[in-house]
Structure 1
Amino acid sequence: MTKFFILFALIPFFVSQISAQTNQKQRLIVLTDIEADPDDSQSLVRLLLYSNQIDIEGLIATTSIHQKTRVAPETIHSILGAYEKVQPNLLKHETDFPAASDLHKIVKQGLPVFGMNGVGKGKDSEGSEWIIKVLEKDDNRPVWISVWGGPNTLAQALWKIKERKSKREAKRLISKLKVYTISDQDDTGIWIRKNFPELFYIVSIGNYWDATWNAINSVIDGANNEVISNDWLAKNIQQGHGPLGAQYPDVAYGMEGDTPAWLMLIQNGLNNETNPNWGSWGGRYELYIPEPLKEPIIPVFIGGAEYEPESRPIWTNADDTFTPRLPNKYGRAIRKDTATYTNNKVTLWRWREDFQNDFAARMDWCTSSFEEANHPPVPALGHPDRITVKSGEIFSLDASGTTDPDGDNLSYWWFQYPEAGSYSKTISFDPYSENLYNLHTIIAPEVEKTETAHFILKVTDKGTPALSRYKRVIVTILPN
């Protein structure tokens, strides 16, 4: 074995070790009304390509408003069968992709009934029992429940915990749960939030079109819409990428509407699952009690049940203001777009080109050798990711030590993320340094109380497809 071969063989190991030093895998249970819409199958195909970065502990087939009397665990097994054929090749690129046999064991199902008809005495299912079993494991990490359909299987698990456990034990188990549900797709969502006010819960209430997650598949002014086109999906995902890509169905109602419910768990340097207000590939959300909804369409999505306003704060839609950067033909590599966009969908589509390219690269991994494929850069900082400055102080940020496993040339983009910090105004810095490895001449603003400001470093390689990773720097600004 030559030294050259040994080096390339070890690259996936080194990359995974770097990630392991700075990130902790998140535990995940998926509730899916798979077969109600092709998008659940699409989301599952993508999720399996990240199964080495997320500890998937349950794949539970459920019902929803769109599929009231049927569950389809057989479709989950079918997609896992395709994953089994590509898993050995995925391991050439990164470590820890689980064996398909282990994933088959955690496929469960809820009751084939709608909403609250599946909650109460005698309504246990293997799905609801599995949620409780996972929660009871000797593992202090939170358990994320990613809800792609109706959450009644989760509601039954919560009902049983409350009925059968001591108050102390119930509180302990529920405190481990973190829920992200794609809107309310049955009448148990509002019941859960009302009866378990301490439960961490992310949801866009109301109709689907106003939801943050809807930005994943919407044609939007200012966004790169090519990466959600049917031609792009056929070329980069469905065709010529092995059996797993071949399992990715054509779009019917919308591409991957469920994927935002777990995108924040990917280890990319930007995502921070414990702080939804910091922004991530899955969007940005703030904790508040939303105004009561008035649209008459609301009962349609919760099975005709009577609509109830929210009774406590939930993590829900938040707005970002964003000016995209475009490639420059001459001179400085990037330039500002002529338009600025503000709404809740911006919080997600601002990252859409990045996560679609990442998806395409991982799909390449299903059939390509390490040398033939692209892999994400590994950003680094020449200083801590949390620094403290005083009002009026001039400081700088730098990306010293940033590398790329394929030896690709790298592009940099530094920007402030005002909505993520307590200081929401624009902070002055030398605009010509925003695409250098060092952002300099940053002037700490005058503040009357201690504030925080978030700066994001985006590093993008020039491989095919171009891949991006991030570093977040939180600057604490002290008054004089």
Structure 2
Amino acid sequence: MYCFTSMVAILALFQCNPEVRAQAKPRILISTDIGGTDPDDFQSMIHLLMYADRFQIEGLVSSPFGNGRKKDILDIIDLYEKDLGKLKKHSYGFPAPDALRKICKQGAILEAPYKGYTTATEGSDWIISCAKKKNDQPLWVLLWGGIEDLAQALHDAPEIKENIRVYWIGGPNKKWSINPYAYIAEHHPNLWMIEANATYRGWFMDPESPKNITSKAFYGNYIQGRGAMGKDFINYYKGDIKMGDTPSLAYLMKGNPDNPTGESWGGSFTPIDRSSRTIFERNTTTADTVATYSVVEWWFKGPKLAIPADSACFTLDVSGQSWPGYYLGDGQYGVRYSPKQVEVGAYMTHSSISELDGQKGKYVSVAPWPGKPSPDDYILGRNWYGDRTEPELFLGTQQGAKTVSKHREEYLMDWAKRWEWLK
């Protein structure tokens, strides 16, 4: 009887004491390129705030690329504030809008140079501050865009990696953040990291979805006419569901986050002990094969210039996009790239330095990642996880994507219930 009474008392304390309840929620910090090159982060931010009662949100950091800024996060919080009254009728624990505004921080705006870091930002300092809080729970750093602020935080306070767990939506973001990724993989290989380069695509790839929840149908069936956030949702992809960053949050919503190899709404992953990397000291051809999502480096010889190492002095153009190349010192120049898909790619360099101008070549990228072992690979620790490689878990060329898409009806219909709250 005594044990039973004690258990009832503990449960009552948990239900009535907001501080106890808050501690049971996963601690999360979001780094997002909302407002940047891809509008899907607006969709993911709306989804996050509609589930904000289930998390202890400690940071919302605007990460780099394009025109995205902290204001874009604040704009969505303004919409959330309009809908908050209806949300609170259905669930305890939604955070106050002003509390969310206080934890919005501006992170890096420009990409990191070849060394992978530059100077501290408001965002990187906030990551450090949150990670150093005394707490029995880890801080989950969910990366929806560039990885610059995390790399800067790890450079400035490497001890924080003992207190954080990272789920990064890589793929295209890895392509843009290739230098800070290389820095982290080389200098912080013992980071607890889920690197989702393709798995996340199962969130919006729906070849077998019921007709009512296809990416195009979901808005009209469940979002349209529901609250300020629902009214705004049509502005992103005309309401078509993408939300490619949401699997990082969903990973903490359904499943055991301590076990990345298990089942979860955010996917299932496999431990990896290396990250594919290939260095070419020449131009490449279609005879040169690299793994999709790998780090590919081209090194070129040129004049010994009296400029600082890490100076950007040429560009590499691939598929209509450009990446800066850097002076490495002693007449050596280098540029990194990461192919985001299976492809035959072509590149060309441009520079006012004649030896670096007009260098061109091709390459072939293939799945799965990591690819065949290379002496250039980054050697990783015991807690780095990547996309599953089993052929039966591919959706098209996207490895591991079925580990998310298999749960599509369940997680979308759960979200549909919350949209009902806003009618």
Fold shared per TM-score above 0.5: yes
Deviation of 1:117 after TM superposition, in Å, equals: 7.0
Task: Within 5 Å, give how 1:56-455 maps onto structure 2.
Answer: 56-64=57-65, 67=66, 70-116=67-113, 120=117, 123-162=119-158, 170=159, 173-183=160-170, 184=174, 185-187=176-178, 188-205=180-197, 211-220=198-207, 222-224=208-210, 226-237=212-223, 239-248=224-233, 249-251=235-237, 255-266=242-253, 270-289=254-273, 292=276, 294-295=290-291, 303=323, 305=336, 309-313=377-381, 314-318=384-388, 344-367=400-423
Deviation of 1:119 after TM superposition, in Å, equals: 5.3
Write the deviation string for residues 409-458 of structure 1: whole angstroms up to 9, x where unpaired: xxxxxxxxxxxxxxxxxxxxxxxxxxxxxxxxxxxxxxxxxxxxxxxxxx
Amino acid of the residue matched to residue 317 of structure 1?
Answer: D
1:331 alignment partner in structure 2: none
Answer 1 or 2: higher relative contact order, Cα 8 Å, separation at least 6: 2
Unmatched runs of 5 consecutive residues or more in structure 1: 1-12, 163-169, 206-210, 324-341, 368-480
Figure out how many residues of one structure are paired with residues of the other and give that number. Answer: 311
Deviation of 1:91 after TM superposition, in Å, equals: 1.2
Write the deviation string for residues 350-384 of structure 1: whole angstroms up to 9, x where unpaired: 111111111111121123xxxxxxxxxxxxxxxxx
- Aligned alpha-carbon RMSD (Å): 3.2
Deviation of 1:218 after TM superposition, in Å, equals: 1.3
For the 8 Å contact 2:70–2:105, the answer to whether it is kept is yes
Relative to structure 1, the CA distance from residue 363 to residue 302 in structure 2 (aligned partners, 3 Å threshold; closer, same or farther) is farther
2:352 alignment partner in structure 1: none
Distance 2:265 2:377 in 1: 28
Write the deviation string for residues 63-108 of structure 1: whole angstroms up to 9, x where unpaired: 14xx3xx431111111100101111211111100011110011110
Write the deviation string for residues 176-195 of structure 1: whole angstroms up to 9, x where unpaired: 11111111241212321221
Deviation of 1:116 after TM superposition, in Å, equals: 3.5
Distance 1:14 1:39 in 2: 39
Write the deviation string for residues 114-172 of structure 1: whole angstroms up to 9, x where unpaired: 13479546x1111011111111212221011111111101111111013xxxxxxx2xx
Relative to structure 1, the CA distance from residue 117 to residue 107 in structure 2 (aligned partners, 3 Å threshold; closer, same or farther) is farther
Deviation of 1:224 after TM superposition, in Å, equals: 3.4
Distance 1:145 1:297 in 2: 21
Distance 1:129 1:40 in 2: 22
* 1:115 match: secondary structure: coil
TM-score, L = length of structure 2: 0.66
TM-score, L = length of structure 1: 0.59
Distance 2:113 2:15 in 1: 43
Amino acid of the residue matched to residue 42 of structure 1?
Answer: Q
Percent same amino acid at aligned positions? 28
Deviation of 1:24 after TM superposition, in Å, equals: 2.8
Relative to structure 1, the CA distance from residue 143 to residue 365 in structure 2 (aligned partners, 3 Å threshold; closer, same or farther) is same
Structure 1 runs (4+) greater than 4 angstroms displaced: 13-17, 117-121, 295-304, 319-323
Amino acid of the residue matched to residue 194 of structure 1?
Answer: E
Deviation of 1:312 after TM superposition, in Å, equals: 1.3
Distance 2:13 2:153 in 1: 40
| Structure 1 residue 30 corresponds to structure 2 residue 30 | yes
